[in-house]
Amino acid sequence: MALTIVFGYSGYLLPWDSLAYGAAVIGINLANSSPLVGKQIATLLFGGSALTPRTVTRMYFIHVFILPVIVTGLIIVHLFIVWVQGIAEPH
């Protein structure tokens, strides 16, 4: 579910219109105001501690590469566990 929320947020920023920009301002302010690792999180997710065109590139990469790779990996692990344990019979 968390991954789907990140999919939704990163996809929502992609059109880079006024709605997306507003959501990006909220996100980067949240990251920047987080204690200790806030600036690093902002750089990792938004490509810096301020919104730049790099933010869109970063969100696009997260949306169409990082997240699909993570989800595909989890599906493979899930199918492997089903294969090892078998499907539970009804009691």
- Name the residues that contact ligand HEM, by CB under 6 A: 4, 7-8, 11-12, 14-15, 63-64, 68
- Which residue is nearest to ligand HEM, using beta carbons? 11
Smallest gap from residue 45 Cβ to ligand HEM (A): 16
Smallest gap from residue 25 Cβ to ligand HEM (A): 17
Q: Which residues are within 8 A (CB) of 43 and not within 5 positions of it... i.e. 6 or more apart?
A: 49
Of 60, 63, 55, 5, the residue nearest 32 (C-alpha): 55
Residues 28 and 25: their CA atoms lie apart, in Å, by 5
Smallest gap from residue 56 Cβ to ligand HEM (A): 10
